[in-house]
Amino acid sequence: MLGAVVGPAMMLALAFSQPGPVRTLLKAEADCPERARRAASLGIREVVLEPLVRSGVVVREKDGCVWVVRELAKRRQRRIALRLALATFVLMALAWAAVSIGGPPRG
């Protein structure tokens, strides 16, 4: 039972420990058109960047440079945190229910 919770939690922790494209762009201070950077120069792959461009969090200029809309990035981060908190709560409730259903140990 514990492994069913710890395994996915460790995978999430590993995924969040690696900087994503938004964090990489913010670290490079690419947060306005004047400071836009080429994704390849920061080691960001287009496949990872494309969903962020479609959602409007990252803006692609005509010359191919990209930059982050800080406010949209913050909103996205809050939504992700809320979903993770909700998923954690649901998993904990299911684990508690599974343990509770077993009843007291029989001797």
- pLDDT tens readout for residues 45-72: 999 899 999 999 999 999 999 999 999 9
Q: Could you tell me the pTM of the whole model?
A: 0.68
Region at 81 (left for phi over 0; alpha for psi -120 to 50; beta for the rest): alpha
37-38 and 65-68: which strand pairing? antiparallel
pLDDT top residue among 92 and 18:
92
Q: How confident is the model at residue 103 (pLDDT cuts 50, 70, 90)?
A: low
Average pLDDT (40-45) is 91
Q: Please give the share of the chain, as a percent, with pLDDT higher than 70.
A: 87
Average pLDDT (85-100) is 86
Domains and CATH numbers, the chain: 19-98 (1.10.10)
pLDDT of amino acid 10: 78
